[in-house]
Structure 1
Amino acid sequence: MARSTTLSRLDRLEMITALAKSGEPLTIGDIAMELGVSSRTASRDIEILRDRGLPIEADRGRGGGVRLQRNWGVGRLSLNYTEAVDLLISLAAAEQSGSPLFMAQLGGVRRKLVASFSPAMAFKINDIKSRIRIGKSAPAHLLSQYRAPAVEIVGTLHQAFLDRSAISITYTTVAGEESQRIIEPHYLLLSSPIWYVLAWDELRQDVRTFRCDRITSLVTAPDRTFRLRAIGDFQTSLEGIDNI
C-alpha cells in the first residue's frame, strides 16, 4: 500500500477517470489495486467523480464492475498546457505532410481545438506555435542514419523548450565527435521525421542547429532562462541542414 502515500486524491481521480474511459473491464478491486488504496477509498473516489458529472456506473460489492454509461460521448475535452501543445504540434505536422488519406478534416479539428481554449491558454499556445517550424521531409541519405531519440531526452527537451530554460547536452556530430554544450532551445524545426533544435550555443557564442536524435544526454538548468530571439537570427544556422 506504499503507493497510496504518493498519490493525492486529485491524482487518483484523474487516474480513475482515465481507467473508466479506457473501455477495459474493471472492478473496484482492480482500481483499488492500481491506485494502491483500499476498496472503500476507491469507492469514495468514484462517488466524487459521479458528483462531478462523470457518468460512472458501479455495481455494489468489492468485485463490482465499473464502467461509463453506454450513451456517454466525447463531450468536452480537458487538456493541460503540455498536452494541448503536443496535440497541436502533431496536427500541424500531419497537415504539412500533404497526405489526403484520413486527413481532410484536420484543419477544422485544429480550429475547434484552439477555439475551446481560454484566452490565457490560447495566448500561450500561440506563442509556442510561433516557435515550431515545419519544413520539407528529410532527404533519403539522412533517413538511413536516423534513430528515434530516447523518450526521456524528448520529454526533458520538450519541457525546457516550453519553459525557455537553458540545457546542458552531450552532442554527437555526423562525424562521430562528441562534445558538451550549453544551449538555449529557441525554436524547433521538423524535417519529417527528424526534429532539429534552433539554439543559441554558449560554447560558440553563436546560433547553431542540433539534431534531436544526436543528443545523447540532457540536463536542464531551470535557473537559467532566456529571452526569445527573433527567428531571423537563425537563418544562417539552417544552411547545410541536409548534411547535419
Structure 2
Amino acid sequence: MRRTDRLFDLILILRDGRLHRAEDLAAELEVSVRTIYRDMDTLALSGVPVAGERGLGYMMTAPITLPPLNLTLTELEALHLGMAVVGEAADDELKQAARTLSAKIDAVLPEDRSTPPSGWGFAVYPFQDAAAGFRFMPQIRKSIRSRQKLAITYADEKGARSERVVRPLQMEYWGRVWTVTCWCELRQDFRVFRVDRIRSLNVMAELFVEEQGKSLADYMALSHSEGAPKPGTA
C-alpha cells in the first residue's frame, strides 16, 4: 500500500471519533506500530485535527466532511482542477504559485470547516492523483441527480480491476481526493469508491428507485457504526 493511501485510510478510521490504539491501527493496516507513529506525526503536522500520544491512542477531534463554503461543488472542483494542472506544470514558479494559492485558500476558510487546514491535501495527495478522476465527475454528478446506474471499471489499491454496476448516492471531498458512495450490485452492499481509481465509466440508461436498505439514509446510518465500508473496499 502506498503511503498516501495509508494516510487516507487512517483518516477514514479516525473519523468515527473513537480512541484507537496504535497497535490496533497497525494490525488493521498491516504495518508496524512505528510506522503508525510516523504517519500520525505526518497527519498532525499537516493540519489534520488528530489528538493523542504514543502508548495511549489517537482520535480525530473534528469531523472531515464537505465544508460549508460559499462555493458550489462544481466551483470547488473547477478550482482544484486548475491547481491540479498548474501543480503538474514544468514551470517551477507556477508550481510554487499553486502551493501558495492553496495555502491562502485554506487560510480564509471558516474555522468550522472540515477539509483539513494548512494545505495538508497538497502535501499528502499529489495533484496528479487527484486530477486523474476529474474527467468522470460530471457524469457522476448527473447520475446522482437523475438516479441512473453506472457501469464502472475500478482499480483497487493493488491495481486489480473489477467491473461494477453501481447506484451512485453521493460524492464527498477529502483534501483533493473525491469519493463516490454507491450501492454496488456486484457485492449487494454499500461501497465507497475513490474517483481517481475509476478507470472507465459509462452512464447506463437504466434508472433506479430508492429501496429500503439501499438508500443514502441507510448508508448514513451505517456510517455511524463499525460496519461502514472504507473507500476502495472490493
The TM-score bracket by the shorter chain reads 0.3 to 0.5
When Rg is computed on C-alpha atoms for both structures, the one with the higher figure is 1
Which has the higher relative contact order, 1 or 2, with Cα contacts under 8 A spaced 6 or more apart?
2
- TM-score, structure 2 length as denominator? 0.44
